[in-house]
């Protein structure tokens, strides 16, 4: 390196090429990855908050009805062991509050796996790069967590065995990125994992639909009973009870609808990462939508609590 007569530093050609190479390899912007990690965390926590209230309410209603002497409900409370799984449990009948509890657990596990994946992408995109050995272990753990989540949500068989949040091709691309720090390798990681995001979306949405059917079944049974009581002359209190039941059911459906929209959005939010690498000024609309859905789920949890309090106040002392 030498100075020109005008005080401008001139670099030798080999050194200039090295610096240009370093600049090209370190151009990954971590902001989109941090945004996805923040959004998936908000979705995870917001979903768990709303499902916690929904689960507690379903449990309380079941206990009240069982306490009135419903033998079938009491029998359905007995938990049986799942063959080959010392930590698993099942019941003979479709107990709603147990279904909702399992659904809540599965959704949290699923969202936690997605958030863990997003956090690992943040590590890949950050200057403090994770090493290949650590990455391999984290990716293996995430794949195991995803499979556990899908089992909890009711996805079994060959499809569940093959599901992985980090595909083999994506893992190879990640190792290549760790070695090269080239943006193109990170784009390949995201593109290779796009199919996994579609599978995660499908697993979540399938479980949501099953839960919606279970909630609808309980609503139909309870609303029909109240309507029959009204027809039999119990008008004053029962009309209010039916209105309160409708209020709760509408919010419950709102929780499931927002979750369904979130899992529908997830693959598109993931795809935005690759587009964001190619076009840094791209608006991350789908990632932002995930975050807003998480916030909305928090609000719905508060609405569920208020609706339940209102119904209890109207019913008076039991």
pLDDT tens track for 187-213: 999 999 999 999 999 999 999 999 999
- CA dist 266 and 198 (Å) reads 8
Residue holding tokens 């990170």? 186
Q: What is the mean pLDDT of residues 136-152?
A: 92
pTM listed for this prediction: 0.82
Residues 6+ apart with CB under 8 A from 174: 124, 135, 139, 166, 185, 186, 189
Instruction: Judge whether residue 13 has pLDDT over 60.
Output: no
The pLDDT value recorded for residue 7 is: 42
Closest to 268 in 3D by CA, of 251, 288, 253? 288
The pLDDT value recorded for residue 15 is: 36
The pLDDT value recorded for residue 127 is: 77
The pLDDT value recorded for residue 84 is: 83
- Check if the beta carbon of residue 102 is closer than 8 Å to that of residue 195: no
Q: What is the mean pLDDT of residues 29-43?
A: 92
**Which of 73 and 202 is assigned the larger pLDDT?**
202
pLDDT tens track for 100-130: 999 999 999 999 999 999 999 999 888 777 8
Instruction: Judge whether residue 159 has pLDDT over 80.
Output: no
Angle formed by the axes of helices 236-278 and 183-192, nearest 10°? 140
- 146 confidence band (pLDDT: 50, 70, 90): very high
The pLDDT value recorded for residue 64 is: 77
**Which of 310 and 137 is assigned the larger pLDDT?**
137
The DSSP call for residue 194 is H
- What is the overall mean pLDDT for the chain? 84
> Any idea what the Cα angle at residue 164 is, between residues 137 and 193, rounded to 5°?
100
Residue 15 in tokens: 């050194």
- CA dist 190 and 131 (Å) reads 18
Instruction: Judge whether residue 98 has pLDDT over 70.
Output: yes
Going by their DSSP bridges, the two strands 80-82 and 85-90 should be labelled as antiparallel
- State the DSSP H helix or E strand holding residue 78, giving kind and residue range, or none if neither: none
In the chain, the percentage of residues whose pLDDT exceeds 70 is 84
Closest to 101 in 3D by CA, of 228, 220, 222, 207? 207
- Check if the beta carbon of residue 306 is closer than 8 Å to that of residue 56: no
pLDDT tens track for 237-270: 788 889 999 999 999 999 999 999 999 999 999 9
């Amino acid at each position: 390196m030498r100075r020109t007569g005008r005080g401008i530093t001139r670099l030798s050609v080999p050194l200039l090429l090295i610096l240009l190479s370093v600049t090209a390899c370190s151009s990954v912007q971590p902001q989109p990855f941090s945004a996805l990690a923040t959004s998936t965390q908000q979705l995870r926590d917001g979903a768990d908050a709303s499902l916690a209230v929904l689960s507690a309410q379903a449990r309380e209603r079941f206990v009240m009805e069982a306490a009135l002497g419903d033998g079938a409900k009491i029998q359905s409370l007995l938990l049986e062991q799942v063959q080959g799984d010392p930590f698993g449990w099942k019941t003979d009948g479709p107990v709603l509050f147990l279904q909702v509890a399992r659904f809540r657990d599965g959704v949290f596990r699923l969202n936690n796996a997605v958030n863990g994946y997003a956090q690992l992408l943040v590590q890949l995109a950050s200057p403090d790069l994770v090493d290949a050995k650590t990455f391999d272990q984290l990716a293996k753990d995430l794949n195991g967590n995803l499979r556990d989540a899908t089992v909890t949500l009711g996805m079994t068989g060959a499809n569940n065995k093959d599901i992985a949040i980090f595909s083999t091709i994506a893992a190879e691309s990640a190792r290549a990125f760790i070695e090269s720090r080239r943006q193109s390798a990170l784009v390949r990681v995201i593109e290779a994992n796009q199919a996994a995001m579609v599978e995660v979306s499908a697993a979540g949405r399938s479980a949501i639909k099953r839960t919606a059917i279970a909630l609808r079944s309980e609503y139909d049974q309870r609303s029909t009973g109240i309507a029959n009581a009204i027809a039999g002359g119990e008008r004053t209190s029962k009309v209010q009870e039916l209105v309160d039941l409708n209020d709760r059911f509408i919010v419950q459906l709102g929780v499931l609808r927002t979750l369904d929209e979130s899992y529908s959005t997830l693959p598109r939010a993931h795809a935005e990462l690759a587009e964001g690498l190619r076009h840094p000024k791209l608006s991350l609309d789908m990632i932002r939508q995930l975050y807003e859905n998480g916030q909305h789920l928090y609000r719905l949890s508060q609405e569920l609590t208020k609706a339940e309090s209102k119904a209890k106040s109207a019913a008076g002392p039991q």
